[in-house]
């Protein structure tokens, strides 16, 4: 089958921090495993990162870090389009047209907005607007499939709603994209016992230095049960993380050890660290190579941006015609 006959798969990662295990398991790994089945489009969402007002040096490093991680885990830049969101200004243009059709009531139902309100923080318009820009990201490329974690599925449903608003107002143009969810890794726990979230900074970075990764893993919150006591594996965060990357036999071994007693939380953390270094070893080497060659990374992103913008401009020509501009 030619590439033109394949469905379009799109995903983006917000450049607000380094890659964490949830990014890898929930979006990156399934996307890479299926990149040959689709016309794959992967972007680094630096515009979305602006909702936290990062320092420019941090934002630029995060963009490169995410691009390096994609390449390290197997992205083929010849077959897959990899680009920086801000290099394609049509993302922002389309988001405005979509915002003009989107009710505040829909946006007020977004989990990200509700979480911000619950924290009694001053909610910036950019965060409130987040689902609209995300919808533009997806619809701009005529996407068929979007890999998302289960906790992000709501945003894709909102994208489908927004696409429907446009189609009903101006005529059928946008597809209604489908979610690709890996159920067994739908929610990756954070090291502090809460849901893993970039806003909490509680993830494990598989591409961090070994010493930093060790600090992250050893900081995982556990209860006060002693070494000899029996534990409930499903309630133990190191086990919850370990089973996401270990073999069935290895998972069963840790499970039995925790149940029987004589196997402590420190043992589970050390085994999790060992497994992380084993699974990500070759990828970590490739990541280090790309991060030490920033000009090469920038060239890959620029080339991808040229390809992405060509597609985006074609879609925007159709959008402008439909809305009368």
Model pLDDT, residue 1: 35
Q: What 3-state DSSP class applies to 229?
A: coil
Measured between alpha carbons, how far is 83 from 97 in angstroms, rounded to an integer? Answer: 23
Q: What SS3 string covers 90-137?
A: HHHHHHHHHHCCCCHHHHHCCHHHHHHHHCCCCCCHHHHHHHHHHHHH
Q: Which CATH number describes the domain made up of 3-188+294-323?
A: 3.40.50.620
pLDDT tens column, 55-106: 999 999 999 999 999 999 999 999 999 999 999 999 999 999 999 999 999 9
Model pLDDT, residue 192: 56
* pLDDT at residue 200 tops 50: no
Measured between alpha carbons, how far is 21 from 283 in angstroms, rounded to an integer? Answer: 13
pLDDT tens column, 223-258: 999 999 999 999 999 999 999 999 999 999 999 999
Q: Closest Cα to residue 205, out of 25, 42, 12, 10?
A: 25
C-alpha dist (Å) from residue 138 to 23, 63, 94, 280 = 18, 19, 11, 29
pLDDT tens column, 289-305: 999 999 999 999 999 99
Q: Closest Cα to residue 238, out of 210, 212, 208, 258?
A: 258
- Give first-to-last CA distance, the chain, whole Å: 37
Model pLDDT, residue 25: 85
The residues with which 12 forms a beta bridge, in sequence order, are 43
Q: What is the DSSP letter of 261?
A: S
The DSSP bridge pattern shows strands 178-180 and 145-147 to be parallel
Sequence ranges of the domains in the chain: 3-188+294-323, 210-286
Measured between alpha carbons, how far is 3 from 76 in angstroms, rounded to an integer? Answer: 14
Region of 39 please: left (phi>0), alpha (psi -120 to 50) or beta. beta
* pLDDT at residue 180 tops 90: no
pLDDT tens column, 110-151: 988 888 888 877 889 999 999 999 999 999 999 999 887 666
* pLDDT at residue 220 tops 80: yes
Region of 149 please: left (phi>0), alpha (psi -120 to 50) or beta. beta
Q: What 3-state DSSP class applies to 195?
A: strand
Model pLDDT, residue 202: 64
* pLDDT at residue 2 tops 50: no
* pLDDT at residue 181 tops 50: yes
Q: Closest Cα to residue 273, out of 227, 214, 315, 219?
A: 214
Hey, what are 282's tokens?
């070759």
Superfamily of domain 210-286: Tyrosyl-Transfer RNA Synthetase (1.10.240.10)
Dihedrals phi, psi of 12, to nearest 5 degrees: -135, 150
Q: Which residue has the tokens 């985006």?
A: 312
Q: What 3-state DSSP class applies to 62?
A: helix
């Amino acid at each position: 089958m030619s590439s033109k006959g394949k469905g379009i798969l799109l995903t983006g990662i917000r450049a607000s921090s380094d890659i964490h295990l949830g990014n890898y398991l929930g979006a990156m790994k399934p996307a890479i495993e299926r990149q040959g089945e689709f016309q794959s489009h992967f972007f680094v969402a630096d515009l979305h990162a602006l909702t936290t007002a990062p320092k420019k040096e941090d934002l630029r490093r995060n963009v490169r870090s995410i691009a390096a991680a994609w390449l390290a885990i197997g992205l083929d830049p010849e077959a897959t389009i990899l680009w920086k969101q801000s290099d394609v200004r049509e993302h922002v243009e389309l988001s405005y047209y979509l915002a003009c059709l989107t009710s505040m009531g829909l946006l007020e139902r977004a989990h990200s907005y509700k979480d911000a309100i619950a924290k009694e923080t001053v909610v910036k318009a950019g965060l409130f607007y987040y689902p609209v820009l995300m919808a533009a990201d997806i619809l701009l490329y005529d996407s068929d499939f979007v890999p998302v974690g289960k906790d992000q599925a709501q945003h894709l449903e909102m994208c489908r709603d927004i696409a429907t608003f446009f189609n009903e107002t101006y005529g059928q143009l946008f597809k209604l994209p489908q979610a690709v969810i890996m159920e067994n890794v739908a929610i990756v726990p954070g090291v502090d016992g809460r849901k893993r979230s970039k806003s909490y900074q509680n993830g494990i970075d598989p591409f961090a230095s070994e010493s930093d990764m060790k600090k992250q893993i050893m900081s995982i919150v556990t209860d006060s049960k002693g070494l000899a006591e029996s534990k409930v594996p499903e309630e133990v965060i190191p086990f919850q993380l370990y089973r996401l990357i270990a073999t069935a036999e290895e998972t069963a071994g840790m499970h039995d050890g925790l149940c029987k007693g004589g196997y402590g939380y420190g043992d589970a953390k050390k085994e999790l660290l060992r497994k992380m270094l084993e699974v990500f070893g070759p990828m970590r080497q490739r990541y280090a190579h790309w991060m030490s060659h920033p000009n090469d990374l920038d060239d890959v992103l620029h080339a991808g941006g040229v390809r992405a913008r060509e597609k985006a401009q074609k879609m925007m020509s159709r959008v402008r015609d439909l809305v009368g501009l």
